[in-house]
Amino acid sequence: MTTESLKKILIVDDEPDIRNFLSACIEDAGFLVDTARDGIEALEKVADDPPDLITLDLVMPRLSGVRVIRELQKNGQWKKIPVIVITAHASDELGIDEVKALSAFTANMRPRYTIEKPVTQEKIVRAICDVLEITENRAQETKMTSEKDVILEMINKADPDTLKQILAVLNGGK
């Protein structure tokens, strides 16, 4: 299996700490990760290389999560991309209008998740696997297989004399 078989997740959040945390969690589970700091950057990345799934903050500068979803829905290919909303504002004044707007036009969309911050690795990985209809073990196996492929490719390209020296060292100088 090659790296092309890994599912790509686009993480969209204006908070660098959240982006970094989610990236680490999702990469550790065996997915490829790309990030965007706001809705405008997210749409640019979707246009360049559509991900298999998007995790999306609702309340962001420049372009909110709801507006990103509206833009995704306008494009025949993009509207097929599943979205998991991750927000700290699902029940406060700052985000309640965004959540209502989201609910109003996503009623007929594929199953989506809304996860309230703080999010755990278990919650986000479970949601991604559920939406993409894969098991958590399968995602990890795909990552391990891809890593093995990279290592084998490096070994095949390596200088044979260097490999002999490495083997000699590993075998205790024999």
Strand boundaries in 25-155, DSSP class E: 32-36, 53-56, 83-87, 113-116
Residue with tokens 């790309």: 34
pLDDT tens for the 174 residues of the chain, in order: 334 468 999 999 999 999 999 999 999 998 999 999 999 999 999 999 999 999 999 888 888 888 898 899 888 889 889 999 888 755 555 555 555 555 555 555 544 677 887 889 999 999 999 889 887 555 555 555 566 666 767 777 778 787 777 777 777 765
Domains and CATH numbers, the chain: 3-170 (3.40.50.2300)
Handedness of CA 79, 14, 3, 144 (dihedral sign): negative
Residues in Cβ contact with 166 at an 8 Å cutoff, skipping those fewer than 6 apart: none
Cα–Cα distance measured from residue 123 to residue 16, given in angstroms and rounded to the nearest whole number: 20
Longest Cα pair distance anywhere in the chain, in angstroms?
A: 71
Indicate the pTM of the whole model.
0.69
